[in-house]
Amino acid sequence: MRSIRTAAAVALIATLTACGGATSGAGEDKPSAGAKGTVNLAINPWVGYEANAAVIAHLLEKKMGYTVEKKELKEEIAWQGFETGEVDTIVENWGHPDLKKTYIEDKKVAVDVGPTGNQGVIGWYVPQWMADKYPDITDWKNLNKYADLFKTSESKGKGQFLAGDPSFVTNDEALVSNLKLNYTVVYSGSEAAIIKAAQQASAQKKPLLFYFYEPQWLFAKEKYVRVKLPEYKEGCDADLKKVACDYPDYVLDKIASKKFADGNSTAYQLVKNFTWTNDDQNLVSDYITNQGMSDEKAAEKWVNEHEATWKPWIPAGS
């Protein structure tokens, strides 16, 4: 009896070994990187990213004949998609040195495809009226003095610092504790929720201290003032738990999966060539958010009006 069982086990293992096992990328050979196929475009949850993606998708579909599959994914998860083949490219990446190390250097499933041309800024902001009324509020050293102004139902008796989507690049909790600020970080859950709160704070003159970033269309409509945090120095954010300095400036870039890059299709070349200014992006974001246009309509409008900008992105022979 035992010998039969042993034999069966050996046979099973032999079969499996002969098959060589399945790697994580197996079974994902969709014709993505091939000729005129499908491009899997990750969509990260803020409207600026959407603007980049909308324009790229529009060009790929309408001008170059690709099919674009848009995937609503948070940043981390989009990076995981490089490994599984779910994602071909991310078109606005904010830093993420840890992810770059994992996926580009260690796993070698992704490559850096160069800057988008946008300059990224992350910081702490207050509405203009607060800066007018309390001029010294824009220095972090004075924030504790005004903590009472920012109290809300969620802030546990301290001042509220309103953060965004948990997936965003943030050091806020570490900053609050390391700078010994009498504040509680409250997550609104999304960009839209921060924008809503910021608009309300401006319109109804309500106190608000919040996480925000550029490029961002809202700055074209209303004024917000950045609070000065201790100056950023190279490496001061190396240990995320001990950060006590401001956010660095970011050169936003594009990432593609290794497979997509190696295919070197015209779609990949378009992504590689894509580069525009903060104003360009804010314009499209504004179309999407405030003019009630769908992503497609907004992209179409921008593309129709800015041929000079996008013409050079289109690779020769496509």
Partner 1 sequence: MTATVPPPPVLQPGGRVLGTALDPPAPSRRGRVRSRTVAAVLLVLTVAAYLLFRTDGAADSSDAASFRFFDSVRDWVDANRDTSPFFLYGFNYVRLGVRLLVDTVHGALTGLGFAGLVAAVTAIGAVLAGWRTGLLALGGFLAFGVLGLWEESVDTLVLTLSAVLLSVLIGVPLGILAARVRWVGATLRPVLDVMQIMPTFAYLAPMTLLFLIGEPAAVIATMIYAVPATIRITALGISEVPPTAVEAATALGSTRWQLLGKVRLPMARTTIALAVNQTIMLALSMVVITALIDAPGLGQNIVNALQRVNVGAAFDAGVAIVILAVVLDRITTGAARRTRLHRPARQRRTRWIVAGAALAGVVLIALVPVRETDLPAYSFAAPVNDLVGWIELHWYDVTEGLKNGISAGVLDPLETVLVTTPWWLFVAAVAAFGTLISGWRAALIAALAAAGPAALGLWQHSMQTLATVLVAIVITMAIGVAIGVFCARHDRLATGIRPLLDAAQTMPSFVYLLPAVALFGASRFTAIVAAVIFAVPPVVRLVERGLRDVPPTVVEAALSAGSTPRQLLWKVQLPMARGGLLLAANQGIVMVLAMVVVGGLVGAGALGYDVVAGFSQRELFGQGLAAGLAIVLLGILLDRLTQGFHHSKRPRG
Q: What are the residues binding partner 1 (CB under 8 A)? A: 16, 20-28, 45, 47, 71-77, 80-81, 83-84, 86, 98-99, 102, 107, 152-154, 156, 162, 165-167, 173, 186-193, 196-197, 240-241
Q: Kindly report the three-state secondary structure assignment for every residue of the chain.
A: CHHHHHHHHHHHHHHHHHHCCCCCCCCCCCCCCCCCCEEEEEECCCHHHHHHHHHHHHHHHHHCCCEEEEEECCHHHHHHHHHHCCCCEEEEECCCHHHHHHHHHHCCCEEEEEEEEEEEEEEEEEEHHHHHHCHHHHEHHHHHHHHHHHCCCCCCCCEEEEECCCCCCCCHHHHHHHCCCCEEEEECCCHHHHHHHHHHHHHCCCCCEEEEEECCHHHHCCCEEEEECCCCCCCCCCCCCCCCCCCCEEEEEEEEEHHHHHHCCHHHHHHHHCCCCHHHHHHHHHHHHHCCCCHHHHHHHHHHHCHHHHHHHCCCCC
Nearer to partner 1, 86 or 280 (CB): 86
CB of residue 254 to partner 1, shortest distance in Å: 20
Cα–Cα dist 222/198, whole Å: 9
CB of residue 95 to partner 1, shortest distance in Å: 12
CB of residue 23 to partner 1, shortest distance in Å: 4
CB of residue 21 to partner 1, shortest distance in Å: 3
Q: Which residues contact 95 (CB under 8 A, 6 or more apart)?
A: 120, 169, 248, 250
Nearer to partner 1, 72 or 136 (CB): 72
Nearer to partner 1, 34 or 166 (CB): 166
Nearer to partner 1, 27 or 31 (CB): 27
CB of residue 73 to partner 1, shortest distance in Å: 6
CA 88-263-318 angle, to 5 degrees, is: 95
CB of residue 168 to partner 1, shortest distance in Å: 8
Nearer to partner 1, 256 or 270 (CB): 256
CB of residue 310 to partner 1, shortest distance in Å: 25
Nearer to partner 1, 180 or 311 (CB): 180
Nearer to partner 1, 20 or 317 (CB): 20
Cα–Cα dist 194/187, whole Å: 9
Cα–Cα dist 242/87, whole Å: 33
Nearer to partner 1, 187 or 212 (CB): 187
CB of residue 242 to partner 1, shortest distance in Å: 11
